[in-house]
Structure 1
Amino acid sequence: MKLLIIAVAFAIPCVLAQTKSYTNKYDTVNLDQVLSNRRLLHAYIKCTLDKGKCTSEGRELKSHIAEALQNGCEKCTNAQRAGMKRVIKHLMTYEKAYWTQLVEKFDPAREYSQKYEKELSTL
């Protein structure tokens, strides 16, 4: 009986760690609206770069962006993963200066951003 209790005690944290994901609270943000509104998009980017004020959505994004880039967004929901790719593609195509600044801040060694650039340049 004691062995079973010990096994369960060790298994629970492992299961919880595997299911941990970022909040889905902002999964319904309209990315089309954000990407088509340069003023709004630039506000989010400036927040992320610590050059402007942040909304609650911006703070949430900023708190996870480095980790998400490094681990392939493994804690992301499907909506977040698809949204990340759309945003990166948009920044690479239409906001190159900001994309460069974001890469310099969150991936100065360009270990992770090159993977995304290569993958998304073919889409």
Structure 2
Amino acid sequence: MKSTVVILIVLAVLAAVASAQQTSWETLETMDVDNVLKNTKLVKRYLDCLLDRGRCEKNGKDWKGMLPRILNEGCSGCTPKQVEKSDQIVNFMKANHSEDWAAIEAKYKTG
């Protein structure tokens, strides 16, 4: 009986984690990347969040969770749309915020 309760609790926790991860990736799926990248104040907020220089809102926290997978695994498991959008963001950052991007890679990229 106790083992059944433990198994149910573990399954509930795993479901909650999977749901949270799905929500993060859905953010990338539905994000209007062009408008975000045109908004310099928003880009600065995301950069400050990612580099622990400021407050993080939900999307910033989502990005913190996604960056390691994007940088280290080539966005494995991403949909074609998510890959396209993440590539667009990375290319924008490299071209327009190269010093911040180097700091992000140093912080989130392993190996």
Gaps of 5+ in 2: 1-17
Q: Relative contact order, CA 8 A, sep 6+: which one is greater?
A: 2
Mapped to 1, the partners of 2:106 and 2:34 lie a distance apart of 26
Q: Aligned residue for 1:100?
A: 102
Query: What displacement does 1:22 show?
Result: 4.1
Of residues 35, 38, 53 in structure 1, which corresponds to 2:37? 35
Q: More displaced, 58-67 or 22-31?
A: 22-31
Q: Pairwise CA RMSD of aligned residues?
A: 1.9
Is it true that 1:25 corresponds to 2:54 in the alignment?
no
Per-residue deviation, 1:35 = 0.7
TM score, norm. by length of structure 2: 0.70
Equivalent residue runs for 1:1-123 within 5 Å: 22-23=22-23, 24-26=25-27, 27-107=29-109, 111=111
Matched residue count: 90
Q: Larger Rg: 1 or 2?
A: 1
Unmatched 5+ stretches in structure 1? 1-19, 112-123
Q: For residue 32 of structure 2, what is the amino acid of its counterpart?
A: N
SS at structure 2 position matched to 1:101? helix
Instruction: Measure how far apart 1:60 and its partner are.
Output: 1.1
